[in-house]
Chains A and B, each alone.
Chain A
């Protein structure tokens, strides 16, 4: 156990620049963009460009008082939305604020994934390149422990920083909103905070990332496998190799099972997101029950099996491949 803890610390030390500072920077950028937009917007100088969203999309977003755009979180719209409506039911308010929280979280999810992608891709490659692999192999740690420590740190330890920063950012924005609705006669601070879903959302994030680690295991396992096996350009191998069987499948069978499977596991299915309703089914996890429902799917466990297979391959090559 001591060994694994030391390995986690070592991984964290190496990657705190990405996993630790990454979400801090996302938060900073998000807050800066939002506050600038708010200040500029309040003096009437800014024109909010809704881009190529359809009228229906805009209408839907605006009915919740937010704008789903790349310009950060549009607080003035949120506040206008909150203030415009004369009577809020608890459910409506909660749903609107859920979407607001998920909107805050989304850029963190993406940045975390990008960092995780490159960390895993370099995890068993970079040390072979710079020969420090000789040092890592001269200490009493098995190759299995090494590979596992890299997976576990990335999938289940590093998200802690992201979760904390998502929560902190959500709290910050809600405080700003609170100030902006002061004086409203039909919406109280208490109503907003008690329907914000902040605490539940925090636990959803924790559970979400625990399960997301399993959901993405075939992706993470593949990246570690490539990192361990190849002797050059791991990025090219990781990205282009899957394309070959995908194209073959399409040419021979006319199907796209593999491509769809990969695409499926590339999505952050276990992370709480804005609702995306197609017919009667909710595509994205919105609350805990959606997240847990993933555990009952064949897709999940098939992916785990594939992930474990790639991990075993990563250990196999880690034993044999040393310097490059």
Chain B
């Protein structure tokens, strides 16, 4: 059974459509990256998945629950970290744990305490005394202690220095991720998460413009770096995009035969940033 099924999601803010027929599905044990520029509808999509934002149209099912109808049931099985510190600044850390223990039966306090013991975070301090990095560490400790089947991360490492960012993803992979658990993640720093994703979804102007697994991606897309002599031949094969680089001209192809492409230049798999530009650039 899918962890998440969303079809034709529509959300309008006045005249602007934040989501315009957005589709998404997540299977258990997958790490899905939702990639798109600012204003593409990423955050709105995440919020409607979590039942925080209401949709104007579309069908959505998360863990068998309609998020808009039963956010409470959903949040017992889902965890969420947002791009900014959203933990209440006036609360002591110990009180935050008490509170979550009181409202969420799937929260295990000891796990959270064990994770926090590895950090410099003290339970009797208030949240506002924490640095940005510690704030994310705390939120992560809470989330890891919730027995969640879906973890939603919205730009979780924004504003963190590189050390914390690395630790963050290590912890998510080592302490949270397992066979029956799934992660949905958005970030600007595509390069940072590229190697941990199993699936990728490109979102542009409220629609999903690409949705495939990283394995498929390697089969389906190829990047050829060619010298000036080969360029005309490659152009005839209708690349999605071409871009000048130091090594020559990089052309990105979809559905082309790699062996054939290899005759014209060096073939590689495009990274997500390159691919996004190629796919979305062609559409606008």
Contacts and interface: CB of A to CB of B under 8 A. Distances in A.
A142 to B, nearest CB: 5
Interface in B93-120: 95, 98-104
Interface string B57-80: 000000000000001111110111
Nearest to A142: B72
A322 B52 contact: yes
B84 interface: yes
A9 B102 contact: yes
Contacts of B82: 131, 134-135
Interface string A123-136: 00001001111111
Most buried by A among B47, B50, B88: B88
Q: Is the interface of A mostly helix, strand, loop or mixed?
A: helix
Contact of B103 (A2, A133, A137, A319): A2
B89 interface: yes
A238 interface: no
B86 A3 contact: no
Nearest to A127: B88
A319 B54 contact: yes
B102 A2 contact: yes
A86 to B, nearest CB: 58
B273 interface: no
A9 B54 CA distance: 29
A5 B78 CA distance: 22
Interface size on A, as a range, is 20 to 34
B237 interface: no
B102 A138 contact: no
Nearest to A17: B90
B265 to A, nearest CB: 47
A131 B86 contact: yes
A139 interface: yes
Name the residue among A5, A135, A142 with the largest chain B CB count within 10 angstroms: A135
A139 B101 CA distance: 10
Nearest to B75: A140
**Residue among A7, A131, A132, A143 facing the most chain B CB atoms (10 A cut-off):** A132
A139 B50 contact: no
Given A131-B84, A142-B71, A322 B47 contact: yes
23 contacts: A2-B103, A6-B102, A7-B102, A9-B102, A13-B91, A131-B82, A132-B86, A132-B87, A132-B88, A135-B86, A135-B87, A137-B50, A139-B104, A140-B71, A140-B75, A140-B103, A141-B72, A141-B75, A141-B103, A142-B72, A145-B72, A319-B54, A320-B54
Given A3-B102, A322-B52, 16 more contacts: A2-B103, A5-B102, A7-B103, A13-B95, A130-B89, A131-B86, A132-B88, A135-B86, A135-B87, A135-B88, A137-B50, A138-B50, A138-B52, A140-B72, A141-B103, A145-B72
Interchain residue pairs A-B with the least CB separation, the first 9: A6-B102, A140-B75, A135-B86, A138-B80, A134-B86, A140-B76, A140-B72, A137-B52, A142-B72
